[in-house]
Structure 1
Amino acid sequence: MVPADQGRLTLDLGLVGDWRGVVRAGKTRRQISLIEAGDWQAAIAELAARPDADPAAIAALAGSWQLRRANLLVEGLDLPQRAGAVIRIGRTARVAITVECDPCTRMDEIAPGLQAALRPDWRGGALARVVEEGDIRVGDPIIIEE
């Protein structure tokens, strides 16, 4: 994962530069992945509360949401937890939630227990498909439309 301050969402490619967003026959659920900053922090707090927690490792994780391998980190917004919900990002880009983004076993390779900490209440984020193209930037408004 390479953090970036801006990007472009397209109907065919998802987030330009992320091969997982390319539309392939029958595969349109995962063009873009989103995670809430608060959910990431809640998962990290759950790990920190474990008796075997390594404080230094937990502190390093707190600011490393990109390890979740999500495309976008959103703050100050509760992502809709339902397929079909439409979110506008910036001036023109729009995405439709398709499904919950279930955390994979790779999360436990990052930190033991992280996969379980990301499971409750869509903490692992949401997957979406692009319904309207547009440029996006860090700090853009994100609005739930439907």
Structure 2
Amino acid sequence: MEELVSVAVTAAAGVQGDFRGAVRQGKVPRRQVSLIEAESWTAALQELDIAGDDAPPWYSRRANLCVSGLRLPREPGAVIAIGSDCRIEITMECDPCSRMDEIKPGLMAALTPDWRGGVLGRVLDDGAIAVGDDVRIEK
């Protein structure tokens, strides 16, 4: 995983540099972009009494984007707008996998309640996004 300050997000390829976001011919993407809330990550770590230097960074979750100060919608069909142009439709919950327990034992279970593991989505509108950009819920 690599932490970036800005990146292009497109309907054809998802987050630039992440091969998992590329749309295969004849397929409708459902898992193109993953987003997690900083507050959910922190809550999961606090549940395990992990803090300070022991706390793994949010990108250990392997999410593409981390938002702060906003509760992500917990239902498919909601649309998140980032920056001036990028729009992402929420398609499903991002269930934490067993890899989370390789990071810290119990992390998978701590990320399970209330969509703490984040959301998955597909790109509706291309856009360049950067750390600090406005994140809005459109519907």
TM bin, normalised by shorter chain, reads over 0.9
Write the mapping of 1:1-146 to structure 2, written as runs, cut at 5 A. 1-24=1-24, 25-26=26-27, 28-48=29-49, 58-60=51-53, 62=55, 64-146=57-139
Shift of 1:101: 0.2
Change (3 A) 1:107 1:15: same
Where 2:88 maps in the other structure, the secondary structure is strand
- Per the normalisation by structure 1, the TM-score is 0.91
Gaps of 5+ in 1: 49-54
Letter in 2 for 1:109: E
State the percentage of identical aligned residues: 54
Q: Please provide the CA RMSD for this pair.
A: 1.3
Change (3 A) 1:81 1:61: farther
Structure 1 distance, partners of 2:33, 2:11, is: 11
Bigger radius of gyration, 1 or 2? 1
Structure 2 distance, partners of 1:129, 1:137, is: 18
- 1:48-88 CA-to-partner distances (Å, cap 9, x unmatched) read 1xxxxxx6xx5345350110000111000000000010010
Where 1:29 maps in the other structure, the secondary structure is coil
Shift of 1:27: 5.3
Change (3 A) 1:61 1:145: farther
- Per the normalisation by structure 2, the TM-score is 0.95
Where 2:48 maps in the other structure, the secondary structure is helix
Structure 2 distance, partners of 1:74, 1:63, is: 17
Gaps of 5+ in 2: none
Structure 2 distance, partners of 1:61, 1:122, is: 23
Structure 1 distance, partners of 2:27, 2:116, is: 26
Q: Which residue of structure 2 lines up, in the alignment, with residue 52 of structure 1? A: none
- 1:84-110 CA-to-partner distances (Å, cap 9, x unmatched) read 100100000000000000000000011
